[in-house]
Structure 1
Amino acid sequence: MRKLIESTFVSLDGVIDDTRPSTASRAEPHRWGQPYWDADHSGYAEKLLSRADSLLLGRVTYEGFAEAWSGRTGPDADFMNGLPKYVASRTLTEATWNATIIKGDVAEEVARIKEQPGRDIVKWGTGELDRTLVEHGLVDEFHFWYFPVVVGAGRHLFEGAGFDTTHLKLADIDRFDSGIAVHVYVPK
């Protein structure tokens, strides 16, 4: 069975993103996280992606990634653009960035994808899709990238998720010179 790996950036005060509609643009991860993106950061992301042969994305992350990556070229961009992507969305009718829109029951479809032969599936970002994934026990590893920054406003990790208490076991910690610490958790 393939592993589903959740990977998300988190500030020390638990912020993962700006609010919708945006009232705190400083809470956007590309603003507060960017000063810490260095060789360690890139190396860890590459290591994570080297284990994968596809991505699972919610609509918001898919649209942001497609905008950021689809026009780029070079080895990293070619790899990212070439990865098959599964997009969970109730509103998208078309996906053009090498993606398949998940239709119907998301939990059933993700479970089916995990049963297929292949390597890990990486899911970037934490949002609405996680409610379903956590409720159905579909996430095999959580990689929380804690950045040494307090944002003070924005949407928080699993805010409004609505699922029951979920206990996790700390499996690993990677520390970067920049101050980022990636905590890897697995279901207990």
Structure 2
Amino acid sequence: MSVRILALVGSLRAGSHNRQLAEAAAKHAPAGVDVELFEGLADVPFYNEDIDVEGSVPAAAARLREVAGGTDAFLLFSPEYNGTMPAVLKNAIDWLSRPYGAGALSGKPVAVVGTAFGQYGGVWAQDEARKAAGIAGGAVIEDAKLSIPASLTRFAETHPADDTEVATALTEVVARLTEQAAPAAA
């Protein structure tokens, strides 16, 4: 049995610590678990029902849906922008929530983690991402959390994959997500 987890990173910045956190999740994933980082969220247009028409969905949004449809679970990485999640992550959730009741998120396990500069590690943004993913139909795993504060100093010279405490906590989140996704993947 193999479990496929799609990682959606809410930061588009090249040196993003949340992207590095996603890379760490992929690196430390247990055997039989594939954590794939989705590339291309910046290309997905803002959700608009007028362009979400069968046969003419924008290519980037169609690709997101296609890749997401073939996965067993989602791992969302959210920094905190002005007290909430970045627009690019919310936009991905919106595209994956459609068609209503049958979107790629529907019924699939979702965990939300992240890091931010502040003292709480982006917890507000991550709570908002959990809320949005749940409303969109995802099966949010409320006890699979990881908020890492002080990202600019903590990861100034150390990649999250090389931070033992972070790698251990992230591995626990991936294991919990895998546990929930395994029955569907079998």
TM over 0.5: no
More strand per residue: 1 or 2? 1
- Report the TM range for the smaller structure's normalisation: 0.3 to 0.5
Q: Give 1 or 2: higher helix fraction.
A: 2
Compare relative contact order (CA 8 Å, sep 6+) and give the higher one, 1 or 2.
Answer: 1
Normalising by structure 2, we get a TM-score of 0.36
TM-score, normalization by structure 1: 0.35
